[in-house]
Amino acid sequence: MKEKLRPLVADDAFEECLFYNQQVAWLRVDTQTILTIAVHVITKNHRIAVANSDKKTWVLHIREVKESDRGWYMCQINTDPMKSQVGYLEVVVPPDILDYPTSTDMVVREGNNVTLQCVATGFPPPTIVWKREQGEPIVLGNGEEDQGKVEEGGGMPGDHRKFN
Per residue in 113-154, pLDDT tens?
A: 888 888 889 999 988 888 877 888 777 666 666 655 443 334
Boundaries of domain holding 46? 4-91
The pTM score is 0.74
More confident residue, 36 or 151: 36
pLDDT computed for residue 137 by the predictor? 77
Instruction: Check whether residue 17 and residue 86 sit in a common domain.
Output: yes
Share of the chain above pLDDT 70, in %: 84
- Report the C-alpha gap between 164 and 160 in whole angstroms: 13
**Paired residues of 93 in beta bridges:** 123
Asked if residues 159 and 148 have their Cβ atoms less than 8 Å apart, the reply is no
75 with 116, same domain?
Answer: no
What's the total number of domains in the chain? 2
Considering the domain architecture, whether residues 48 and 108 belong to the same structural domain is answered as: no
* Whether residue 124 sits in one domain with residue 72: no
Q: Which of 64, 91, 118 is the last residue of a domain?
A: 91
Whether residue 117 sits in one domain with residue 52 = no
Rounded distance between C-alpha atoms, residue 103 and residue 120, angstroms: 12
